């Protein structure tokens, strides 16, 4: 592929790291003159297309990701970006499925397309971010390092703006839209719920509305303010990991153990919900640790597991029961806190007086 002989087009699947990193890739590829084609939002078809390609035990996010690759192929996209993110910091690793994503796609998806694969492995020598970026655009004939470096700055700008807006309390959709439009605003959207819940999971579980059955919308409709890892800084999550006596091993340890540790300590949070995919090895370890430690913080915790067969009715019932319990707990806490002696008790006697007056007649 030569840079100047054809239009630069890259397909990005709306799955896995899309939910955390798309803003970077948007800024980076756009600055290099690429036209970006995104797969469509997840549907039932996306799930069944992906599920048909792998064994049942594979986790839902990977099945969904494969469905998005099929969607891009159907759209006629020839070059699909499938990075292999091995390690994001020295000795901090991703799960084997994320590490081997390009190999998985190559082996199970048949079609006329190229996999644009680049490897980020910060635990290996000479595998830093710039090597990763160079590898990502080399197949398109882009090798000018200064150009790549400049484009990465644009990527970081969009990425940082998105995270600033998320941390200010903006909703995911608004922050993403603003960041992609080059806007930065820190007006937080007023939270009006009576209960505060921390939703602990990966971006691809909670911001893919089909995968999580719109859990955030459902909670908000129940009068709940929802907090996630995207509202926290790395330092807060690092501190959260220490609070749970853990150490950072998995690449997504920040958004799981770190966010849970932070919110367990946070007095404004009434309860924690963890959402994981059936068959996820790293989550089963991290959630076990979160569950054990949550007892020391005396904070209610609900563990939800999803796969492509999860029924919405049962899912909602469990959510409602948990939120109902949190409301009751909060109400009794408030009543106990009230100092009844502060108020003068005056029985309401008007009704009795009226009745007695009527009897005299």
Which residue, 156 or 249, has its beta carbon nearer to ligand SF4? 249
Which residue, 101 or 272, has its beta carbon nearer to ligand SF4? 101
Residues 46-65 that bind ligand SF4 (CB under 6 A): 59, 61-62
Which residue, 41 or 281, has its beta carbon nearer to ligand SF4? 281
Least gap, CB of 252 to ligand SF4 (angstroms): 6
Q: Is 215 in the site for ligand SF4 (CB under 6 A)?
A: no
**The sheet that has 119-121: what strands, in order across it?**
92-93, 84-89, 119-121
Q: Is 277 in the site for ligand SF4 (CB under 6 A)?
A: yes
Please identify which residue in 111, 182, 245, 281 interacts with ligand SF4, judged by CB under 6 A. Answer: 281
Among 228, 213, 338, 217, smallest CA distance to 273 is for: 228
Least gap, CB of 117 to ligand SF4 (angstroms): 17
Location of structure tokens 């501190």: 239
Q: Is 283 in the site for ligand SF4 (CB under 6 A)?
A: yes
Enumerate the H helices of the chain as residue ranges.
18-31, 44-51, 60-74, 96-99, 101-108, 129-137, 145-167, 172-180, 203-206, 215-221, 234-243, 259-265, 281-294, 312-337, 350-360
**Which residues lie closer than 8 Å to 245 by C-beta, 6 or more apart?**
293
Which residue, 62 or 269, has its beta carbon nearer to ligand SF4? 62
Q: Is 282 in the site for ligand SF4 (CB under 6 A)?
A: yes
Size of the site for ligand SF4 (CB under 6 A): 12
**Which residues lie closer than 8 Å to 17 by C-beta, 6 or more apart?**
83, 85, 98, 204
DSSP 342: G
Please identify which residue in 95, 108, 213, 316 interacts with ligand SF4, judged by CB under 6 A. Answer: 95
Residue pair 2/28 in contact by the 8 Å Cβ criterion: no
Least gap, CB of 87 to ligand SF4 (angstroms): 14
Among 263, 86, 156, 62, smallest CA distance to 255 is for: 263
Please identify which residue in 224, 280, 319, 326 interacts with ligand SF4, judged by CB under 6 A. Answer: 280
Which residue, 276 or 294, has its beta carbon nearer to ligand SF4? 276
In the numeric block, which tokens belong to residue 145?
């390092």
Which residue, 176 or 275, has its beta carbon nearer to ligand SF4? 275
Least gap, CB of 204 to ligand SF4 (angstroms): 7
CB atoms within 10 A of CB 84: 20
Q: Is 211 in the site for ligand SF4 (CB under 6 A)?
A: no
Least gap, CB of 295 to ligand SF4 (angstroms): 24
How many whole angstroms separate alpha carbon 46 and alpha carbon 70?
8
| Binding span for ligand SF4 by CB under 6 A among 215-223, 256-264, 279-287, 298-306 | 279-287
Residue pair 87/123 in contact by the 8 Å Cβ criterion: yes
Residue pair 184/178 in contact by the 8 Å Cβ criterion: yes
At residue 88, the 3 state secondary structure works out as: strand
Which residue, 245 or 281, has its beta carbon nearer to ligand SF4? 281
Which residue, 135 or 307, has its beta carbon nearer to ligand SF4? 307
Sites of contact with ligand SF4 (CB under 6 A): 59, 61-62, 95, 97-98, 202, 277, 280-283
């Amino acid at each position: 592929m030569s840079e100047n002989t054809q239009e630069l087009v890259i397909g990005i699947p709306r799955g896995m790291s899309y939910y955390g990193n798309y803003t970077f890739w948007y800024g980076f590829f756009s600055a290099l003159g690429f036209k970006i084609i995104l797969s469509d939002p997840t549907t039932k078809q996306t799930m069944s297309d992906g599920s048909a390609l792998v064994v049942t035990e594979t986790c839902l996010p990977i099945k969904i990701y494969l469905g998005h690759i099929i969607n891009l192929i159907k759209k006629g996209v020839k070059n699909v970006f499938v990075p292999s993110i091995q390690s994001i910091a020295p000795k901090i690793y991703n799960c084997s499925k994320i590490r081997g994503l390009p190999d998985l796609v190559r082996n199970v998806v048949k079609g006329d397309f190229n996999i644009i694969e680049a490897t980020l492995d910060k635990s290996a020598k000479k595998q830093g971010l710039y090597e990763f970026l160079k590898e990502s655009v080399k197949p398109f004939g882009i090798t000018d390092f200064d150009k790549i470096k400049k484009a990465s700055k644009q990527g970081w700008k969009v990425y940082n703006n998105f995270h600033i807006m998320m941390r200010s309390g903006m909703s995911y959709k608004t922050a993403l839209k603003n960041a992609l439009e080059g806007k930065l605003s820190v007006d937080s959207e007023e939270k009006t719920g009576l209960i505060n819940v921390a939703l602990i999971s990966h971006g691809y579980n909670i911001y893919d509305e089909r995968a999580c059955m719109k859990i955030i919308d459902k909670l908000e409709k129940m009068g709940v303010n929802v907090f996630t890892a995207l509202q926290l800084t790395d330092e807060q999550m690092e501190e959260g990991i220490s609070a749970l006596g853990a150490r950072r091993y998995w690449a997504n340890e920040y958004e799981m153990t770190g966010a849970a540790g932070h919110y367990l300590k946070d007095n404004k949070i009434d309860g924690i919900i963890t959402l994981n995919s059936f068959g996820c090895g790293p989550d089963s370890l991290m959630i076990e640790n979160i569950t054990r430690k949550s007892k020391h913080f005396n904070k209610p915790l609900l563990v939800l597991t999803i796969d492509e067969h999860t029924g919405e009715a049962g899912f909602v019932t469990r959510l409602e029961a948990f939120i109902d319990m949190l409301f009751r707990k909060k109400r009794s806490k408030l009543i106990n806190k009230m100092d009844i002696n502060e108020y003068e008790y005056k029985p309401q006697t008007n009704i009795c007086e009226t009745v007695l007056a009527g009897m005299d007649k």
